Structure 1
Amino acid sequence: MIHVIAVLTAKIGHRASLLAALQAIVEDVRQEPGCLEYQPVIDLSTSPVKFGADTLVVIEKWQDQAALDAHNAAPALTGFMDRAKHLIAQADVYLMRDA
């Protein structure tokens, strides 16, 4: 299994628009072969350590590298990137495996 933690920082004041664009593709991505989990999340208001007001995190789980590669080329993700790239200040993607 491959775990993906994607930390997306929106341009100042644009997190809501970025989150809306991302939420628009969630159900399509969840239907992709090999997708086990795909969920955008934001800081809990009571969290003592926060990513910040302009940041959201996407937590993903994929069956294998082939499924992740297919996702990265899929219309849902490529379309999202085309529509939302002007909203993103920084994107850090971490690929992990079970220990």
Structure 2
Amino acid sequence: MLTVIAEICVKPGRRNDVLAAIERLTPTVLEEEGCGSYQPLLDLKAQVPWKQHSPDSIFMLEHWDSLRHLEQHQQMPHMEAHRANIKDDVVDVKIFVLEAAK
């Protein structure tokens, strides 16, 4: 099983709109073959000196059975439509594909 952590950096003031688009998309993604989880996360407002702050980001935590499933997900028509829908609100996307340490 692969773990994906994606940071979606959005324009200031646009996070809630992008989050709403992700929430509408989530049920469809969860029905995809090989999808174990698909969860948006937000930066916790905590004032501690050791914590990174990303108030304009949405972090996606995803689990996929294989790289093939993840690649198929990226090519799904609903994902292409989603990316087109939010493209004017997104500044950058950083995607990390991780596997368990042996």
Q: TM-score, normalised by structure 1?
A: 0.92
> Structure 1 residues 89, 36: CA separation in 2 closer, same or farther (over 3 Å shift)?
same
- Residue 69 of structure 1 corresponds to 71
Alignment equivalent of 1:92, drawn from 78, 91, 94:
94
**Partner Cα distance (1:46, 1:28) in 2:** 32
Structure 2 portions without partners, runs of 5+: none
- 1:43-58 aligned at under 5 Å gives the runs 43-46=43-46, 48=48, 49-58=51-60
Unpaired runs of 5+ in structure 1?
none
Equivalent residue of 2:33, what SS? Answer: coil
Matched AA of 1:34:
G
**Runs of 4+, deviation exceeding 4 Å:** none
Q: Which moved more, 1:63-72 or 1:47-56?
A: 47-56
Number of aligned positions between the proteins:
99
Larger radius of gyration: 2
Q: How does 1:1-99 map to 2 (within 5 A)?
A: 1-46=1-46, 48=48, 49-99=51-101
The share of aligned pairs that are identical, in percent, is 27
Q: Give, in angstroms, the shift of residue 23 of structure 1.
A: 1.0
Structure 2 residue matching 1:25: 3-state secondary structure: helix
Q: Which deviates further from its counterpart, 40-49 or 26-35?
A: 40-49
